[in-house]
Amino acid sequence: MFEELSTPAFVVDRAIVRRNCERMRARLNPPTRLRPHVKTHKTLEGARLQLGAETGPITVSTLAEAEFFADGGFRDITWAVPIAPSKIGRAATLATRIDRLNLLVDHVDSVDALDAFASSSSTGFDVFLKVDCGTHRAGVDPESAASIALVERIVASPHLRFRGLLTHAGHSYDVDSVEAIREIAAEEAACLTRFAGKLQVAGIGVETRSIGSTPTCSVVERLPGVEEARPGNYVFFDAVQTGLGSCTLEDCAASVIVSVIGHYPERAAIVTDGGALALSKDGGARHPGREPEYGVVCDLAGTPIPGLHLRGLSQEHGQIAVDAGVEIERFAIGARLRVIPNHSCLTAALFDRYTVVEGAEVVGEWKPARGW
């Protein structure tokens, strides 16, 4: 079956996705509810497997995703990226079509823009404050008085409904032990709880504290004081997550089938048609003293082939170095390989359709949302 696909092809093993989703649902205990992030796969089918239901609360990363999922029957959506003022009109239109569209802000100018739009169009917006609990990508400083003033500004608006605090422990990707990831998870929850306590003193209640990343949610037993978790990558997992200890290689549900298009025994190299536009160019986990590799090269059954190293990616070429002692003739022109990507979210985003399999059998095709 893998022999017939036009390469490079993005393949999703649905049985593994189902198992990953069931495990994540079983991990999270009340009062923590799951609001899975769907940005990894961006498909209706994937979201339903995450929820174990036809519909339910989800998290998205683009407005186009939010619209796509609304069209697919999802009525409770958090768009977990701070809104650009130019998108407020589109967001307002979408908000009228579903039960809840939560928007994210971390700056007074965004709050003012939402307030101004809402007052001139007699609409209202549900708003989360993005909090920086250590990643330093986006979000307000929970220790700063200005952050409390920003929430007071949201609460003072008759057009904005303050729904809670949201953070994402992106820095859980930068540490090198499960113990360190557990510490980040505990600090992420504690950070929101401390901030919620300060808001309480200022007379502001926090309905929802929302956290979530795949590394933290994969290794903690409890998320004390957290009402909502938003992991997403666990649906597919990938080579980076195996390095972090979130999963094993057998849990990786997404791979790219590639064909050998260049064969160079004299310099122990082969080239495939899986370049950067088929795999993305995420360098993966850092291994001090070792050259980066752009994925795990496997046979078509998904078993890693020792001695094959995907060391170079250009637009349409994947360069594989072959160790001495490996029989390079096995990888003749036209031979096929299966690559587990470093970062499945970025890799999936390069394909307009996914071939869905269970083991060696094709069971369908998923079409993801695209664009912004």
Ligand X SMILES: Cc1ncc(COP(=O)(O)O)c(C=O)c1O
Draw the binding track, 225-254, toward ligand X (x: CB under 6 A; -: no contact).
-----xxxx---------------------
Of 212 and 318, nearer to ligand X (C-beta) is 212
**Among 14, 41, 163, 168, contact with ligand X (rule: CB under 6 A):** 168
Q: For residue 212, state whether it binds ligand X (rule: CB under 6 A).
A: yes
Name the residue nearer to ligand X (CB basis): 58 or 310: 58
Which one of residues 32, 50, 213, 280 is an interface residue with ligand X (CB under 6 A)? 213
Q: Cα–Cα distance between 40 and 13 in angstroms, integer?
A: 14
Minimum CB separation of residue 249 from ligand X in Å reads: 18
Q: How far apart are CA 215 and CA 237, in angstroms?
A: 10
Q: Which is nearer to ligand X, 168 or 338 (CB)?
A: 168
Tell me how far, at minimum, the Cβ of 302 lies from ligand X, in Å: 22
Amino acid at 109: D
> What six digits make up the tokens of 194?
């401390």
Burial of 271 (0-12, 13-18, 19+ CB in 10 A): buried
Residues binding ligand X: what is the number (CB under 6 A)?
Answer: 11
Contacts of 94 (CB under 8 A, 6+ apart): 63, 66, 67, 70, 101
Binding mask 63-82 for ligand X (x = CB under 6 A): -----------------x--
Q: Which tokens is 114 given?
A: 């939402």
Q: Which residue number, 344 or 355, has a Cβ lying nearer to ligand X?
A: 344
- Cα-flanking dihedrals φ and ψ of residue 76, to 5°? -140, 100
Distance, in Å, from the CA atom of 359 to the CA atom of 213, rounded to the nearest integer, reads 28
Candidate segments 209-217, 219-227, 289-297, 305-313, binder of ligand X by CB under 6 A:
209-217
Residue type, 235: V
Residues near ligand X (CB under 6 A): 37, 59, 80, 168, 212-214, 230-233
